[in-house]
Amino acid sequence: MSTTAALPMDRFATSTGRVVIAAIVFVVCLIMLKLVTTTGMQDLLGYTQKTQARVPTFLVRMVFLLAAIAAAFFFVTGLSYYKRNKVAVAPWLFLSVGLVLFMIYVIVPIFQSISYSFTRWDGLYDFNGVWTGEWVGFHNYKVLFQDPNFYTSLWNNLLWLVLFMLAVPIGLFIALFLNQTVTGIRIYKSLFFFPFVISQVVVGLIFTWAYNPEFGLLSEVWSWFFCETKTNIVGNLTRVCSPEPPSILGDSTYATYGIIAAGLWPQIAYCMILYLTGLNNISSDQIEAGRLDGAKGWKMLRHVILPQLKPATFIAIVVTVIGALRSFDMIATMTQGGPFGSTNVLAYYMYDQAVGEGVGRYGYGSAIATILFLIMLVYISYFLWRMYQDEVEAR
């Protein structure tokens, strides 16, 4: 800085020293990245097994990668070009790391999956690292469209979509019920929201237990109506029920409904919190105006409140649709697709076919995933279109 006074420098000039050092660091890091290998780390750190050396290898690579990124930043910001075009170049610098990571792990895999769906492959490479699959064109899709399990999964996905939508009106109802200012209402609101915070695996376990026909919650409620306790010949108390309590998860007609009901529990909580926030932001002027016009109860809700809750409803529907199509955890914990594949949805069936026990049908699994993706794409496009409308309006 002190030199600037004595020697009037162009403030857009390339800072040579900085650029040179950054370039050297960058090249060194790239060379080191190439040099760090699992076997090398194994020798260096004395691990007997290759698997043990994987994590240290990864971490060392990450350090060099980060150093390389930092060096690249210093290199670019030292250049005269950057200094002249700051506002045009800077956003790409800010975007770069996040965008590259997101591309590698999310965007590119979508297209890879679609390309896998035209192959027959078990996920393996041969000894020389050459891909062992073969191209089969639309074969996977032809098989898929004749697979009864696929249609069961598709039908169940539809059931999930339709029945999951119940979360929206029920959530609204609970939100209306709780939208008061009694003492302690805040605690009630958070306790009602509680199920959403819990992992779906845990919700699945809770409901598996609740549905248990021998000692679950449901059988207890059942026994209030249909059971009586008798003393049997040996003198012990036994419970005699007619009809017997249903085994919901063991019966292929009810199992899917049972899982959906369990899934609704946290989803209702989510919709409720969306509506509670929405109700909080409704303008009281309009409600007062509505009251003066004699609107109340259902009419008020229909004509004054719901139009103002539109953004909340939109988000509630979006998250519910996505939740319904993503249903996997619950099925994995509660039934694993059974009994007899009756609770499969596309998400679970794909997992089962691709990496389930004994099968490694990467191509077939990818075909199922592609179908699921196409269904989701309808909603994603709709969501993006709505967002685009908002953006255009905001301008």
Partner 1 sequence: MFPSPIEKASFFGRFAYKLSLPIALFIWLLPLLAIFMTSIRPASDIATGNVFGIPSSFQLLQNYGEVFAKTDAMRYLFNTLLIAIPTTIISVALACMTGYALAIYKFKWALPMFFLFVAGNFVPFQILMLPVVDMSNRLEIINTVPGLVMFHAAFQTGFCTLFMRNFMKALPFELVESARLEGVDEFKIFWHLVLPLVKPAIAALCVLIFTFIWNDFFWATVLLRDDSTLPITVGVRTLNGEFVQQWHLVSAASLLAAIPPVIMFFAMQKHFIAGLTLGATKG
CB of 39 to partner 1, least distance (A): 10
Rg (Cα) of the chain, in Å, rounded?
30
Q: Closest CB to partner 1 among 190 and 253?
A: 190
Q: Closest CB to partner 1 among 159 and 282?
A: 282
Q: Closest CB to partner 1 among 2 and 229?
A: 229
Let me know: does 140 contact 332? Beta carbons within 8 Å.
Answer: no
202/334 Cα distance (integer angstroms): 10
CB of 333 to partner 1, least distance (A): 6
CB of 21 to partner 1, least distance (A): 18
Q: Closest CB to partner 1 among 86 and 142?
A: 86
Q: Closest CB to partner 1 among 254 and 265?
A: 265
CB of 193 to partner 1, least distance (A): 8
Let me know: does 217 contact 262? Beta carbons within 8 Å.
Answer: no
Let me know: does 272 contact 175? Beta carbons within 8 Å.
Answer: yes
CB of 128 to partner 1, least distance (A): 14
CB of 107 to partner 1, least distance (A): 6
Let me know: does 287 contact 307? Beta carbons within 8 Å.
Answer: no
Q: Closest CB to partner 1 among 118 and 362?
A: 362
